[in-house]
Chain A
């Protein structure tokens, strides 16, 4: 990961330190099932970014698949399902 120092150009925004960035990277790490914190392993920031990208791609793919299944279910719409949809809106 390229070293990032504080940014002083932004008006009204405080400088971002490397620590703050490291903090966010650690938070991201906790979100990714593949690399969630294990006591001894240290995961590099570059690896966190890599796994984050993979994870997001997988989630996008899941959304694609689920959209396709929903679309097929819409094909065969009938009265019972309209009632179901209405009940979900209670």
Chain B
């Protein structure tokens, strides 16, 4: 819907606008890749992974370092990217490097209810947080996820007309 697209640009510094801008730039970069029009299953999957990572990374950067979930998300994406680059170069000798284990602070491990623990796994950075902080970060994370979905839908709509 065009009006949705325009309203997100009316406030130039809104989270949706910043996200849309970053994400579209990332998509443009991806589309200029030589392999972007390949139809092989492996390349398709890789491209899908890159698009998805670009979406989360664009949102997290738009939010900025003040939010713990945004910092944790960017860290995760960058680690994954570095890990995959390293694997490409070292080949099969990276067994030990595949997983990065993070020591969880004792007092936040397994103390809460089942729902609380599930929530910690779903919210980036949730595992090291105090419960109150977790609730706070979750609220913000949800608002941003919703905005992210809306903008992605808008882009698809514009793209396919």
A residues whose Cβ falls under 8 Å from a Cβ of B: 1-2, 4, 7, 10, 16, 20-21, 24-25, 27-28, 31-32, 46, 49-50, 52-53, 55-57, 59-60, 62-64, 66-77, 81-82, 84-85, 88-90
Bound CA–CA A53/B5 (angstroms): 29
- Distance A82 CA – B27 CA, assembled complex (angstroms): 10
* Interface membership of B10, Cβ < 8 A: no
Chain A: which residue is nearest B37 at the CB level? A75
Pairwise interchain contact B51-A49, C-beta atoms closer than 8 A: no
Q: Which residue of chain A lies nearest to B153 when distances are taken between CB atoms in the complex?
A: A66
Additional pairs, 7, CB under 8 Å, beyond known A24-B136, A77-B36: A1-B112, A7-B130, A32-B142, A59-B149, A63-B55, A75-B36, A81-B159
Known: A21-B132, A71-B48. A49 touches B122 (CB 8 A): no
B149 touches A49 (CB 8 A): no
Nearest-neighbor residue (CB-CB) of B123 within chain A = A56
Residues of B with C-beta under 8 A to A77: 31, 36-37
The listed residue (B24, B132, B139) touching A31 by CB distance below 8 A is B139
* CB-CB under 8 A for A74 and B36, given A24-B135, A49-B116, A82-B31: yes
Write out, one digit per residue, whether chain B residues 69-92 have a CB within 8 A of any chain A CB (1) or not (0).
000000000000000000000000
